[in-house]
Structure 1
Amino acid sequence: MPAPETDAREDRRRQEERWRRRRSLERQLHDGAALRISSLALRLGVLENGSVDPDDGARHRDIAALQDEVAAALEELRAVASQIYPPLLHEAGLGPALRELVTARQRDVVLDVAADRAEPAVEGAVYFALADCLEASGAPLAVRIRREPGTVEGGDIVVVVIEGADPALGPAVLDEAGPLGGTVDVEGAPGSAGTITARFPCA
């Protein structure tokens, strides 16, 4: 059994990693879309106060370039927003959202996701637990997600089985399952292809 100080160091490391990811999102907004929009405001001011004839070709080219910049800024904002809570997760559920994630990251993952929906907190926790596994694992994965009956006193449970994952990723999954009262079991030795089984209680 790990010593208390070992557990405390691991908890601190995991919390620091969570804050690192949040800080990364802030930087993406500041260094990407925010700078683009600031630049757009300046360039629009120049156009508004310029003395060039409205029908001049240079002005039309400037406006077209600004439209391209607006489109690029919107794409950057959507990319960051999807890391906060993907729109497709809300609209269509875990299956479609995870398939989009796997495709976007070009990962070798076999998904078997039941169509049953759960509340947003559970679906979000499952989604980001798997997103963390995809980011940290380069091995092929097989993911199975099912909603199963819970105990008499409790509600249903969303059970997530991740085969081929490094068992060392168990704590990252627990970061998402734990706040909901969930549990994580791992099989295999760290650094090898094992199995992570996570249970996310529904309300």
Structure 2
Amino acid sequence: MTTADDPTRRRERRREHWQRRRGLERRLHDGAALRISSLALRLGLLDAPREQVDALQGEVASALDELRAVAAGIYPPLLHEAGLGPALLEAVRASGADVALDVTDERCGAAAEGAAYFALVDVLAAGSGPLAVTARREGSTLVVRIDGADPALACVLDDEAAPLGGTVDTDSSLIVARFPCG
């Protein structure tokens, strides 16, 4: 087995991947987004017809909204700031999906939380019926249970869990994914 095939090294690369995603989100937020916000404020001070200034501020506000959406797609700020529960709650509300959430407040690291978040958002996008999602830290593992999901969606969770050294099991309409905490 080569060093590149070493499971420990693969998990470490995946954790580094999630840290890079988080770093990109912060750079967008702390750099470009702050500059655009500053530009919007400075536009308000221009000595120009109000209609032109208002139109420019509207365009700047739209650009800022688009930038924030890109940053959130890389790594949602709420996931970093408040954790998996609040970030999933926001995603569920935005999707309008029928989901009962029961998510621990205990943090599990950027890699595990990011992988679980994006896998669950993909499950929501698949449009399953009513779901019950629980997420708990059990030792050094984030265990996510999705009740009511199509078992075929297990592959969506496995795509995120496996590179971290995690596993996914299915039983009828229950999917259980395990994400090692970093």
Give the superposition deviation at 1:201: 1.2
CA offsets, 1:157-178, max 9 Å, x none? Answer: 1100000100001111100001
CA offsets, 1:79-113, max 9 Å, x none? Answer: 12211110000000001110011011111100000
Instruction: Flag the structure with larger Rg.
Output: 1
Whether 2:141 is the aligned partner of 1:157: answer yes
Whether 2:62 is the aligned partner of 1:72: answer yes
Query: In the alignment, residue 179 of structure 2 is paired with which amino acid?
Result: F
C-alpha RMSD over aligned residues: 1.8
Q: Is the 8 A contact 2:167 2:178 kept in 1?
A: yes
Query: In the alignment, residue 184 of structure 1 is paired with which amino acid?
Result: V
| Distance (whole Å) between structure 2 residues aligned to residue 79 and residue 127 of structure 1 | 16
- Gap runs ≥5 in structure 2: 1-35, 37-42
| Distance (whole Å) between structure 2 residues aligned to residue 179 and residue 129 of structure 1 | 13
Within-5 A mapping of 1:105-184:
105-149=95-139, 156-184=140-168
Whether 2:177 is the aligned partner of 1:202: answer no
Give the superposition deviation at 1:75: 0.8
Residue of structure 1 in register with 2:82 after alignment = 92
Residue of structure 1 in register with 2:25 after alignment = none
Q: Is the 8 A contact 2:169 2:177 kept in 1?
A: yes
CA offsets, 1:46-78, max 9 Å, x none? Answer: xx9xxxxx55xxx32111100011011111111
| Distance (whole Å) between structure 1 residues aligned to residue 181 and residue 158 of structure 2 | 16
- Gap runs ≥5 in structure 1: 1-36, 38-43, 49-53, 150-155, 189-193
Query: In the alignment, residue 175 of structure 1 is paired with which amino acid?
Result: D
| Distance (whole Å) between structure 2 residues aligned to residue 61 and residue 75 of structure 1 | 21
| Distance (whole Å) between structure 1 residues aligned to residue 60 and residue 181 of structure 2 | 41
Give the superposition deviation at 1:117: 0.3
Residue identity over aligned pairs, in percent, reads 60
Residue of structure 2 in register with 1:104 after alignment = 94
